[in-house]
Structure 1
């Protein structure tokens, strides 16, 4: 079992990826790699012009799901720390929606864990997204490409 320090936040407020990086880089012993990923709200998807996304979640259940995903990553790779922040509410196109940071002694572990977390988050975290587009609003269904990305990690 990993002893990674895991930080999870679900919030409407913007986050500071610089602060996330700083916190992850302060691990003891010093990490050899810190990998971060920031996801943004796209303004175009399948030729539909997106103005914003409206994100809803199930409080308590969402945080628990994200914690489980982070713990799974920490059990697969030698991870020192994981930071995961996901925003909720109305988010305008171009604005940050999610950030994942991973600190490890090794870059390959940090990259893999970061990608694993995003692949599982896209499939398993209880978030509901509604696109607000120039031609109306629509709830977003799961994408087959996200399901395929998750399956590549399964043994």
Structure 2
């Protein structure tokens, strides 16, 4: 488990602390995602580490070929995404944070989610980014509908949503 951020553990340089308003980009959208957009959103001169996660649509799941995939979200998803981001920013020395998730019909290879976090140091950035994607997947009410090549279907969604 990641160690909680404690400002008292850091020298007094402002770059070693979390930014006052680190949440730069949070969206759930029906248009294609851009790694460059998310990476640019978390740029910060005081950040020594930037971690980025890209989730893509794969051609299989559970040993079965995926024919089609679609994502849908609850109307509260954007607000829940903000809560997740605020918690990450409160628990880690985040200089900048961004997260975008796609909804609608996607093809194999499409980007489904892109998240990034920049922090003063790499370990902090890795920890915060991993927690961001894990908490997003567990708490934000976004559901995946998979249709397999054998005609079966499956819904997968936020466990806490």
Give the count of matched residue pairs: 142
Deviation at 1:121, TM superposition (A): 1.3
Note closer, same or farther for the CA distance 1:70–1:141 as it changes in structure 2 (3 Å cut): same
Q: Which has the higher helix share?
A: 1
1:140 partnered with 2:155? yes
1:64 partnered with 2:82? no
Q: Is the 8 A contact 2:39 2:52 kept in 1?
A: yes
| Pairwise CA RMSD | 2.1
Give the unaligned 5+ runs of structure 2.
1-17
Structure 2: how far apart are the matches of 1:10 and 1:44? 24
Give the unaligned 5+ runs of structure 1.
148-155
1:80 partnered with 2:98? no
Partner of 1:152: none
Q: Match for 1:9 among 15, 27, 33?
A: 27
Q: Which has the larger radius of gyration?
A: 2
Deviation at 1:19, TM superposition (A): 2.5
Partner of 2:10: none
Q: Deviation above 4 Å: which 4+ runs of structure 1?
A: none
Please give the TM-score of this superposition, normalised by the length of structure 2.
0.80
Q: Match for 2:50 among 31, 34, 43?
A: 34
